[in-house]
Amino acid sequence: MKRMTLVFDEDSLYTAVKVAAAKRNAALKDLIPQILREWLEAQEDAELLPLVAEAKAEYEAKGGVEASDFFSKNKSKRGK
């Protein structure tokens, strides 16, 4: 386990984080690592967004369709 000191430059930010921890029935020391993990995951997701958009554009350019559209068309054909 590694330790670090966290300094809040703004009292309002410290208060907001303490309130958020209290609402979750969690200690601030337990909440901060969770917040950091979620932030890191969000950063990874943000890095992947352009790749996802590029893959979707390529898929659509090659004639790919949304799954819901595909199944709707096949359901209506099967019903006939």
Q: Which whole number is the average pLDDT over 6-33?
A: 93
User: Rounded to an integer, what distance in angstroms lies between the CA atom of residue 7 and that of residue 20?
Assistant: 17
**Residue 52: predicted pLDDT:** 87
What are 27-76's pLDDT values in tens digits?
A: 998 889 999 999 999 999 999 999 988 988 888 888 887 778 878 877 76
45 neighbors 53 (Cβ within 8 angstroms): no
**Residue 78: predicted pLDDT:** 65
**Residue 44: predicted pLDDT:** 93
42 neighbors 35 (Cβ within 8 angstroms): no
Among 11-15, 17-21, 55-59, where is mean pLDDT lowest?
Answer: 55-59
- Using alpha carbons, list the distances in angstroms from residue 50 to 21, 29, 38, 47, 53: 34, 34, 20, 7, 5
Domain ranges of the chain: 11-79
